[in-house]
Amino acid sequence: MSTEYVALSFFKTNKIDYYYKKPIITFPCPDCGKEAKMNAFEATWSCNACFARGTLVSLIKLTTSSHSGKLTESIYNPGKEILDIRRLLQEVKRSSSERNQKLIEKAYNKTNALYSYLKTEPE
């Protein structure tokens, strides 16, 4: 079993909000609730907001104790957000005049183009 698989399974089974962009798993920092990042192959993580750091083992210990910190908070997931934005724009488009439908279509395409552009940018 790879470290990557074990790490992803941990977040999934503990219902911790996360998203994965190989090799980085982004999840809520147990200390401050902001974005912490884990390298899925090394199973080490750190938080750029409060400088907390640890390993997958330290997270497992937290979730098995009664105080799991801020791991239950949610994080901003760009993949989920773009789906939400597309859905909202489609909804508005359906109930709009023909002229506004064209403008919304334009905004929809520009949003997709921007998302694709940002997605390929190195972090």
- Listing DSSP states for 88-112 in one string gives HHHHHHHTS-HHHHHHHHHHHHHHH
**Binder of Zn ion out of 49, 83, 103, 113 (CB under 5 A):** 49
Distance CA(61)–CA(76), nearest Å, equals 25
Q: Which of 8, 24, 50, 82 binds Zn ion (CB under 5 A)?
A: 50
Which region among 2-10, 44-52, 55-63, 86-94 touches Zn ion (by CB under 5 A)?
A: 44-52
Is the Cα torsion angle 85, 91, 94, 100 positive or negative in sign? negative
Compare residues 11 and 104 and give the one whose CB is closer to Zn ion.
Answer: 11
- Interface residue with Zn ion among 29, 38, 43, 71 (CB under 5 A) is 29
Give residue 16's identity as a one-letter amino acid code: I
Using rule CB under 5 A, residue 71 touches Zn ion: no
3-class DSSP assignment, residue 86: helix
Least distance between Zn ion and beta carbon 48 (Å): 8
Residues that bind Zn ion (CB under 5 A): 29, 31-32, 47, 49-50, 52
